[in-house]
Chain A
């Protein structure tokens, strides 16, 4: 399981000041060090190590003027095993991926796919209309569309002369 961001900032652009830098640069440097913890293949936090037990399916969030769309990659699930709930602005996707019975027999040579429970919570930036949320599951991808509540939609304000 890898977490790869679609857009990556160019880290080389930030000057690596040794102390005495502006607080912002220092903060950037700290951020780089934390990032490297997750990217160094020998680090205990590296993707695929035992530190990350369980499954963190990748999630994307899209926004247009009327709604948010959340996309989660959940290959090989049954529709009934996916649960979606909303609490305030927080959308929670949970479920369990189960292995087929027949797989338990015979020899296993490689087992990289995850089976078991998972849960992801995504806090949406603005309130949504809970009763109008729709979810669909196709090709192993769950797509949830949540219309923004009226007050969260952008409004045009007429300028009076």
Chain B
């Protein structure tokens, strides 16, 4: 399996000119069918607008920005991380990056990463003269 390997953990970053806000690494599941890889990531509090997906070379970056619609009042007990989500995956050569599709439902991102036909290993015959 060389489709997707995680290569970077939680880091700090600065978003725009706002105050520094950390990132947490969301939990992910990766599975494969005959035609594609399926990547699912838990990012509660993130909707479609808060999602940034980028593919650069063989690196897929997922950033999920939480909506700041917290309930009214003062927080008296807090367990959820006050941070956005970020995770990087390294894509294998068999992923067709031009056909990646994404859907977001109830805080879960589901990505379909189709396997490309071209990337399948080719057999080359070597002639000996």
Contact = CB atoms under 8 A, between A and B. Distances in A.
A108 B30 contact: yes
Interface in B57-95: 67, 70-83
Main secondary structure of the interface of B (DSSP, over half): loop
A57 to B, nearest CB: 8
A49 to B, nearest CB: 15
Interface in A1-50: 1-7
Given A58-B79, A60-B75, A76-B42, A110 B30 contact: yes
Contacts, number: 132
B129 interface: no
Given A77-B106, A139-B44, A139-B45, A110 B28 contact: yes
A136 to B, nearest CB: 10
Interface string A48-83: 000000000011111110011101011111000000
B96 interface: no
Contact of A4 (B28, B81, B107): B81
Among A64, A77, A112, the one with the most B-chain Cβ atoms within 10 Å of its Cβ is A112
7 contacts: A3-B79, A7-B78, A71-B70, A103-B29, A109-B3, A137-B106, A140-B43
Interface of B: 1, 3-4, 6, 24, 27-34, 38, 40, 42-47, 67, 70-83, 105-108
